[in-house]
A and B are shown apart, each in its own frame.
Chain A
Amino acid sequence: MTKLSMTVNGKAVSGEVEGRTLLVQFLRETLHLTGTHVGCDTSQCGACTVHIDGKAVKSCSIFAADAAGANVTTIEGMANADGSLSVIQQAFQDCHGLQCGFCTPGMVMTSAALLADNPHPTEAEVRHGLEGNICRCTGYHNIVKAVLTASGQTVAAE
């Protein structure tokens, strides 16, 4: 076991990890931040997406030790300071961009990173930007709509 420190959602945290401990395990089991989910074991589904130093990564595919010292943001850190939903979260609710909610944290994290990189994406850019996130409930329609809405664009196709 080695000691590990990083910043998660703006707070300094530390804990003991094994070499093999994945970042998602550290978040869920040590820090009890269970909003980040595990939906597969092959790095495909994206339910575990978090931000490391502002970039979207799959927390199931990085060892916790490899994120030592990093600035990590999880879904629990995405709401506004007053606790209200952020623009992207609000867009997901307004557009009914979630059903069972399991893939949602990853979708929100990927969408937020996408919009940070590209504030006015086209529909195709949104769809390709969500390549690493699988949703089984929504058929993606309202997720894509939510991301476009969060970018301030109106969605013509209805």
Chain B
Amino acid sequence: MPKDYGIGASSKRREDVRFLTGRGQYTDDLSIHGQAHAVMVRSNVAHGKIVSIDTSAAAAMPGVLAVFTGEDFKDVGGNPAGWLIKSRNGEPMREPKRPVLAHGKVRHVGDAYAAVIAETYEQAKAAAQQIADDAVIDELPAIIDMKAAAADASNRVHDEIPDNICFDWGWIEDNRAAVDAVFKSAPHITTLELVNNRLVPNAMEPRASIGEYFPGTGDYKLTTTSQNPHLTRLLVAAFVMGIPENKLTVVAPDVGGGFGSKIYHYGEEALVLAAAKKLGRAVRWTAERSESFLSDAHGRDHVTKIELACEKDGTFLAFRTETYANVGAYLSNFSTATPTFLHGTLMAGPYKVPHVYVNVKTIFTNTAPVDAYRGAGRPEATFSLERVIDKMCRELGLDQFEVRRKNFITPDMFPYTTPVGLAYDTGNYQATLAKAIEMADVAGFDKRAAASKAKGRLRGMGLSTWIEACGIAPSHLVGVLGSRVGLYDAATVRVNATGNISVMVGAHSHGQGHETVFPQIVAERLGVPESSVEIVHGDTSKIPFGMGSYGSRSLAVCGVAMNKAIDKIVAKGKKIAAHMLEASEGDITFEDGKFSVAGTDKAKTFGEIAFSAYVPHNYPLETLEPGLEETAFYDPANFTYPAGAYICEVELDPDTGKVDVVAFHCADDFGNIMNPMIVEGQVHGGVGQGIGQALLENTTYDENGQLLTGSFMDYAMPRASDVPFYNVDYSCQTPCTHNPLGVKGCGEAGAIGSPPAVVNAVIDALHRGGMTHVTHINMPVSPGRVWQAING
């Protein structure tokens, strides 16, 4: 009998009611008295020297209130990178300034170099066009191809960086000699060169920001589409604008999806604040979708050579990779962590491979900045591993399931330290693989393949066994790895006098369902109805602190902080109960919402304790404070390590090259589950995005740096007809050993595990159809590419 309440129940989402009735409050839905409208002026060339920006004509146009250029911000700070990475030679990464508005040079199509504020959006837009017409920008040769960029010191994205290399990173550099030695004598080596295609996140809500300034107090307020308002406050206040943190409130109201792209601070946020102060009016900016394509941080974009050394029986001996990672024109906030510590550290997968070496060269190009997108680094690692393993199995004629089993870390080996520096705490990869094989009816595949063949279709089955490090935190680890911030989280549990509860959490919900799931935990722990618990998030003036939502960290980090605050509430409640019941604190037990004196029938309900806390008529004030409110910060001991096995079945039309995903099976280990309905939804969404990456989504710049896929007319987003129903299971549970909820995180799993399963299935279909000359097709595996591979 499934639970209908508390931890483990599929409680329906309370936030749904407002979204389903049109009463959500997204940033662009808000209207502020006296607001003016900002429009950015964006470069239409990929690389150019700004000779002059004559704004006089624009400034004289109807309704125009102010015009800004890079000159206005040249003396304020820049938007920094959050992680300092060191090259193999020990040198720190090259870190060019990222200004609010481009100054001196424009470095990608869409790079904003001016902004107009006007009474209406149309007036601002017309004036922005005038500035674009009047600006003189000398076009320079665009730097697009990563390898060419690194090889050509004459053409530079940033004049001070001669080879366009941000850093050349080895992980772990000390492993390198041993890995090279293994390759010299390995019985078999499989090599694969692949591209992890660049993606545009395309959260359905375009970015938007509203700046306000209150001259009476000198306070600023930024309402913005952010996954982490506190981080945005820190970046805007301390790094860019130089205003005190306590004079800036950042609010992220309802946010329409993020997938990483709304983690980062963008220049428009500083612009609307500066403009609000200058004009004494609220200033709003909302991206058009075409601006989102040009200016949101993109994802992935790796070119990788991976080599696998193994025995003839498929026993892994070593992995070695060399990756070129595109960072775009500027360093976005997490951009240097994504291809390194979120990627290289996962390059052992769930396998007991003794030797791994990862090399990543991160390159500046005249393209939009690239940063973390759902999965962030881990999908790239998983794709490389699972594709090269699949290729090896085909080369050696080995069974793909058996090879995985043979190489898996076994349950008795935990905690297990990998050669790339992570300590997996727990897992059971055999169990998830066995579950996936059962779910997918692998035994019945041949029959299904025969049925497909009768229709003129080729059927293929692809496997991916993946692992990730998430619950992105431990400050002590990320600090060693180069993070300039800590990655804990915080929560305040406020029990009101009437017994209902407000919980202020640092995690921000933009689809994940925190407003429903967090109360489930509170309700379970405190024995109160879920409906008496409200979650407050997304407002720096209301919540203690938070590092936001990404890296599947909301529950595993912030949820645990909340759980810790609940511990404190229970402890305080016991103190109050001891006083009220005239018993010793040590004799008070708390169960099912009641504080009782052990071994007696003397008890107080949670509500009575709460009321008493705020009506402390006879409290011993020296030893018992009034009030019932507790805050906790939580910084975990380790990452969490969800893992799973995905099996994809495709049907392929050999005449057109069209691939249809006909079945997708996910067997995941997320540790303990708080709300199964939401976990399933997260996996569905991740797999949908993974199928999009594998089959549809392509971000293409031409040699001049023009984005050819700059709208939904050319950038293929998955639609309902592109995907099947997904078969999702999470019954294999090895709870996380180092957080009290035993949770691991499920937000990124689908996007990490699915792309290689899809591509492996395509290759399988082609091989079963006799086209064994096709050993790899780069994503997106579009019909045209499949047809070319078959016929090329």
Contacts and interface: CB of A to CB of B under 8 A. Distances in A.
A–B proximity contact (CB within 8 A): yes
B717 to A, nearest CB: 5
Interface in A81-105: 85, 89, 92-94, 96, 98-105
Contacts of B484: none
B719 A130 contact: yes
A133 B720 CA distance: 8
B12 A158 contact: no
Given A28-B29, A101-B15, A140-B688, 6 more contacts: A32-B31, A39-B206, A45-B712, A85-B17, A92-B16, A137-B257
For the complex, would chain A's binding face be called helix, strand, loop or mixed by DSSP majority? loop
Contacts of A42: 289-290, 711-713
Given A44-B713, A96-B678, A108-B20, A140 B12 contact: no
B19 interface: yes
A139 B726 contact: yes
3 tightest A-B CB contacts, nearest first: A35-B22, A139-B688, A102-B256
A41 B288 contact: yes
A74 interface: yes
B499 interface: no
Contacts of A108: 20
A47 to B, nearest CB: 6
A15 to B, nearest CB: 15
B684 A142 contact: yes
B646 to A, nearest CB: 13
B26 A102 contact: yes
A123 B662 CA distance: 13
- How many of chain A's residues touch chain B, expressed as a range? 35 or more
Interface string A116-158: 0000000110111011011111111111110000000001011
A34 interface: yes
Interface in B640-684: 677-678, 680-681, 684
B554 interface: no
Contacts of A36: 22
9 contacts: A38-B206, A41-B288, A75-B22, A99-B511, A101-B20, A103-B256, A131-B721, A142-B680, A142-B684
B257 A126 contact: no
B254 interface: yes
A98 B513 CA distance: 10
Contacts of B202: 136
Interface in A3-58: 20, 28, 32-42, 44-45, 47
A93 to B, nearest CB: 4
Contacts of B721: 124, 127-128, 130-131
Contacts of B203: 100, 102, 136
B24 interface: yes
B726 A94 contact: no
A40 B12 contact: no
B623 interface: no
A72 interface: no
A34 B29 contact: yes
Contact of B23 (A35, A137, A157): A35
A66 interface: no
B165 interface: no
B204 A39 contact: yes
B518 interface: no
Given A40-B712, A136-B204, A105 B22 contact: yes
Given A45-B712, A92-B16, A127-B720, A100 B204 contact: yes
Contacts of A96: 12-13, 677-678, 680-681
Nearest to B509: A100
Pick the most buried of B204, B719, B724: most chain A CB atoms within 10 A of its CB: B204
Interface string B700-739: 0000000000011100011111011111000000000000
Contacts of A105: 19, 22
Contacts of A65: none
A126 B720 contact: yes
A144 B204 CA distance: 18
A39 B712 CA distance: 10
B205 interface: yes
Nearest to A88: B20
B21 A89 contact: yes
Nearest to A86: B20
Given A94-B12, A100-B204, A103-B204, A139 B19 contact: no
A87 B551 CA distance: 35
Nearest to B292: A40
B512 interface: yes
Interface of B: 12-13, 15-26, 28-29, 31, 122, 201-206, 254-257, 259, 288-290, 510-513, 677-678, 680-681, 684-689, 691, 711-713, 717-721, 723-727, 750
A134 B206 CA distance: 13
A42 B716 CA distance: 13
B717 A134 contact: yes
A104 B257 contact: no
Nearest to A95: B677
Given A136-B717, A143-B720, A100 B255 contact: yes
Contact of B511 (A79, A137, A157): A137
A140 B206 CA distance: 20
A79 B31 CA distance: 24
Pick the most buried of A99, A103, A128, A138: most chain B CB atoms within 10 A of its CB: A99
A128 to B, nearest CB: 5
Contact of B510 (A28, A100, A123): A100
B38 to A, nearest CB: 16
A138 B206 contact: no
B292 to A, nearest CB: 9
Contacts of B513: 99
B122 to A, nearest CB: 8
Nearest to A99: B511
B210 to A, nearest CB: 14
Given A41-B288, A138-B684, A92 B720 contact: no
A41 B125 CA distance: 15
Nearest to B754: A139
Contact of B720 (A34, A98, A140): A140
A134 B712 contact: yes
A104 B19 contact: yes
A36 to B, nearest CB: 7
A44 B689 contact: no
A137 B257 CA distance: 7
Contacts of A133: 719-720
Contacts of A135: 204, 720
Contact of A141 (B13, B26, B288, B684): B684
A78 interface: yes
Pick the most buried of A79, A96, A145: most chain B CB atoms within 10 A of its CB: A96
Pick the most buried of A32, A75, A130, A136: most chain B CB atoms within 10 A of its CB: A136
Contact of B205 (A39, A89, A98, A142): A39
A22 B747 CA distance: 37
A93 B12 contact: yes
Contact of A100 (B12, B256, B290): B256
B40 to A, nearest CB: 15
